[in-house]
Amino acid sequence: MYELYIGNKNYSSWSLRPWVLMREREIPFVERLLRFGESSQWKDFGKISPSGKVPCLIDGSTAVWDSLAIAEYLAERHAGIWPADAGARAFARCAAAEMHSGFFALRNRCAMSCGIRVRLHDIPPELTADINRLEMLWTDGLQRFGGPFLVGGTFTAVDAFFAPVAFRIQSYGIALAPAAAAYATRVLKLRSMQEWYAAGLAERFRDEPHEQEILQMGTVIQDLRAPPLN
Ligand SMILES: N[C@@H](CCC(=O)N[C@@H](CS)C(=O)NCC(=O)O)C(=O)O
């Protein structure tokens, strides 16, 4: 049985990728959640994962410690992680890689925090450029491959890579063109995403660095999370 180490569901965008992918592809795993800021939990994890970062997939004696590498590792063992058609697969891999190594303004200015709603202090040109590129990329995929997912009829790794963006769009009220907005809503409505969201809302542990990162960029206008413990 695979073990998947993840961070707090409210904050950990990188963790969400393999988690939602495995859930949507019905690949069984044991979830191991580590709370940010709790050094006792992370101390032992550092012995398991070379980077000490989540997500990390453990398969027997093999550790796979990066979300894109996890997708590729799973693709070697399970059908349907990437689309069967070579053209669709190339598109999906490019889009997932683009998310993995780009969209810096979106990632830095709109940190994932599923349970809050934020009004950004400002929207600089680099954020507008990321949003425009996202809209273009999603619209292109949906048109080319016919939807409802980014490269066709089934949820694949590329959708998993953009799943955290769907939460960001919800939290920051980012307006998108109709097809792209509908895709984000569709992803948010998946049962696995709803479960992740509910678990994120129920988390009572707050990680101060994550909270501060958001307050630097905007004003929290709604906090739907369970009351904090710490
Ligand atoms: N490139 C990595 C990035 C992983 C990453 O940055 N994870 C963050 C949490 S979302 C982390 O573990 N932070 C804890 C730390 O840096 O100590 C991936 O794709 O998995």
Quick: pLDDT tens for 86-110: 999 999 999 999 999 999 999 999 9
User: pLDDT tens across 5-41, in order?
Assistant: 999 999 999 999 999 999 999 999 999 999 988 888 8
List pLDDT tens digits, range 37-75. 888 888 888 888 999 999 999 999 999 999 999 999 999
Give the residue, by CA position, lying nearest to ligand 1 atom 1: 66
pTM of the model: 0.97
- Residue keyed to tokens 């070697």: 76
Q: Residue 12's closest CA among 32, 29, 40?
A: 32
Do 57 and 18 touch, CB atoms closer than 8 A? yes
Answer whether residue 230 shows pLDDT above 80: no
Which pair of tokens denotes residue 228?
Answer: 């904090």
How far apart are alpha carbons 206 and 208 in whole angstroms?
6
Query: Rounded to the nearest whole angstrom, what is the distance from the C-alpha of residue 44 to the centroid of ligand 1?
Result: 16
Mutate which of 15, 45, 54, 213 for ligand 1? The one with the most ligand atoms within 8 Å of its CB, which is 54
Residue 207 Cβ inside 6 Å of ligand 1? The answer reads: no
**Whose C-alpha lies nearest to ligand 1, atom 12?**
53
Q: d(Cα 68, Cα 43) in Å, to the nearest integer?
A: 24
What CA–CA distance (Å, rounded) separates 75 from 69?
Answer: 10
User: pLDDT averaged over the chain?
Assistant: 96
Burial of 160 (C-beta count, 10 Å sphere; 0-12/13-18/19+): buried
For the Cβ of 99 lying below 6 angstroms from any atom of ligand 1, the answer is no
Does residue 203 line the site of ligand 1, with CB under 6 A?
no
DSSP helix/strand/coil, 97? helix
Let me know: does 33 contact 3? Beta carbons within 8 Å: no
Ligand 1 centroid – CA 3 distance (Å): 17
Please name which of 206, 198, 213, 220 lies closest in space to residue 117, comparing C-alpha atoms: 220
Of 9, 14, 51, 73, the residue with max ligand 1 atoms within 8 A of its CB, to mutate for a pocket test, comes to 14
pLDDT digits 0-9 by tens, 77-88 = 999 999 999 999
